[in-house]
Structure formats: C-alpha cells, structure tokens
C-alpha cells in the first residue's frame, strides 16, 4: 500500500477510536480539553494553576504527554492534581491509541474535566483527534507573532488561544496587532485570552472561559475529524 494511503488509514482508525472516547465523555458529562503548543510556552504551568484553582470545585484528571520522563506529571501532582504520564518514546504527538492505554486509570464517575497536555510541538498534534471537546492552544510572547503564518494547521484547529508570558511584553517584540491580523486569515473566530502564569495576570479570564465551557459537553460537535493531509512525523 502506498505510504500516503497507509497513513490515511491510520488517521481514520485513530478518528474512530477518538469518537468512541467522545461518546463516553459525553455520556459521563465530562469535558475534555487538548492543550497544545510549542515546547516551553507554558502548558504545564497553565495546568498547574488550573488544577490548584479548581481542584476543590471539580473532578479533574490530567494526562501528560511527553516523549520521555515524568517531570510534568510530578509538577501537576505537586499542584494537587490527579495525573498520569504517557511517554511516546519518540513520537512527537499523542494519538487516540496512546490515550486508550491510560484512560482505564480514569474514574469517569468522579470526573468533570479531563485535561490532556500534548507533546510540545506546533505541527502534528493538530492532526490527531483525541476525542476531546476543545483544543486550547498556547503561544508565549517570546515565540513571536509569526507562528500562525508558519504553522497554520495548528492555529486553524484551536478553539481558544492563550497568549502566555505577557509579563515579558516589555522585553520582547510581540506585535499583538500583527498577530490578530494573521489570525483573521487563518481562524477569524478564534478567542484570545492573555495571561501570565508567572504573575497570575489574566488567569481569571481563563478560569471563566473554562467554567463557561464545561457544561456544554453534550452539545458540542466533534472537531478535528475532517479530511487532512497524511502525517509523516
């Protein structure tokens, strides 16, 4: 079978499994989010803050995806979260099959919010449906504003863009107007929230977004399930 066809078949079976997860999440009234960004944008920092803020109000479980090690899982644990680590052993994204190996550790009955931290990568995580309801993307100010133009697929799949490290704005070139302009071409309806996970600025906006989106689980349509290019990473 030609490579492209084979890869499309892999994506199709991934989608089928992800749809099964989605059905289970909806049945159990669980909201699931897929957190994606480049390495170092602050995904784990955001999750630490989120867990600490909501842990007494909501049932939360975190799945950490990394190529190697459990550094991030340890951080979430320290923040008071329930967490498990997936090591992809070289793969630069999570897929539904990897998720299926840890979802049996999750007690759905006690769960309101499932947070999946994807592998830090702006390319292929966007191609793999995990059955989650929302793609939450982070972009940190030191990364600059050219990323949507360079990695449009990731930004086109995002439901929310969190601009992190706004405390560094005085020291970096981050032209917010230019960012908005490029996003208009890629995903005009994209919501943006500016935060600093370090100082806490803006985090209340993120908590509000999350609270607003948690009860809507069952009414959401699947995302990430359209036709895509084959994955090669």
* Footprint of Zn ion on 62-101 (CB under 5 A): 92-93
Are 143 and 75 a contacting pair, CB within 8 Å? no
In the complex, least distance from residue 9 CB atom to Mg ion, rounded to whole angstroms: 31
Q: Does 121 bind Mg ion (CB under 5 A)?
A: no
Residue number, nearest CB to Mg ion: 44
Q: Distance (Å, rounded) from C-alpha 158 to C-alpha 156?
A: 6
In the complex, least distance from residue 37 CB atom to Mg ion, rounded to whole angstroms: 9
Task: Quote the distance between the C-alpha of residue 61 and its chain's center.
Answer: 14
Whether the CA torsion 192, 80, 122, 216 is positive or negative: it is negative
* Footprint of Mg ion on 34-53 (CB under 5 A): 43-44
By C-beta, is 47 or 145 nearer to Mg ion? 47
Q: What is the CA radius of gyration of the chain?
A: 17
Q: Which does 233 bind (CB under 5 to 8 A by kind): Mg ion, Zn ion, none?
A: Zn ion
Interface region with Zn ion, contact rule CB under 5 A, candidates 5-13, 51-59, 118-126, 204-212: 118-126
Of 32, 124, 183, 203, the residue at the interface with Zn ion (CB under 5 A) is: 124
By C-beta, is 11 or 51 nearer to Mg ion? 51
Q: Does 75 bind Mg ion (CB under 5 A)?
A: no
Are 160 and 189 a contacting pair, CB within 8 Å? no
Residue 120: C-alpha distances to residues 52, 67, 123, 154 (Å)? 22, 9, 9, 12
In the complex, least distance from residue 94 CB atom to Zn ion, rounded to whole angstroms: 9
3-state secondary structure of 31: strand
Q: Distance (Å, rounded) from C-alpha 65 to C-alpha 199?
A: 25
Contact footprint for Mg ion (CB under 5 A) = 43-44, 72
Contact footprint for Zn ion (CB under 5 A) = 92-93, 124, 233
């Amino acid at each position: 079978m030609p490579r492209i066809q084979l890869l499309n078949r892999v994506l199709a079976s991934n989608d089928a499994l992800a749809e099964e997860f989605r059905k289970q999440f909806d049945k159990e009234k669980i909201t699931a989010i897929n957190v994606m960004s480049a390495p170092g944008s602050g995904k784990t920092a955001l999750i630490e803050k989120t867990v600490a803020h909501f842990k007494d109000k909501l049932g939360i479980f975190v799945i950490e995806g990394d190529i190697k090690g459990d550094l991030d899982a340890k951080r979430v644990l320290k923040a008071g979260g329930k967490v498990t680590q997936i090591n992809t052993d070289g793969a630069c994204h999570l897929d539904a099959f990897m998720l299926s190996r840890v979802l049996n550790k999750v007690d759905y009955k006690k769960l309101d919010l499932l947070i999946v931290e994807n592998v830090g990568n702006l390319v292929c995580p966007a191609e793999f449906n995990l059955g989650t309801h929302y793609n939450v993307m982070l972009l940190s100010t030191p990364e600059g504003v050219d990323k949507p133009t360079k990695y449009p697929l990731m930004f086109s799949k995002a439901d929310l863009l969190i601009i992190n490290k706004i405390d560094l704005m005085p020291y970096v070139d981050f032209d917010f107007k230019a960012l908005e302009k490029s996003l208009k071409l890629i995903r005009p309806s994209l919501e943006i929230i500016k935060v600093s996970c370090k100082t806490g600025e803006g985090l209340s906006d993120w908590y509000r977004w999350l609270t607003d989106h948690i009860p809507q689980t069952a009414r959401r349509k699947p995302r990430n399930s359209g036709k895509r290019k084959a994955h090669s990473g």
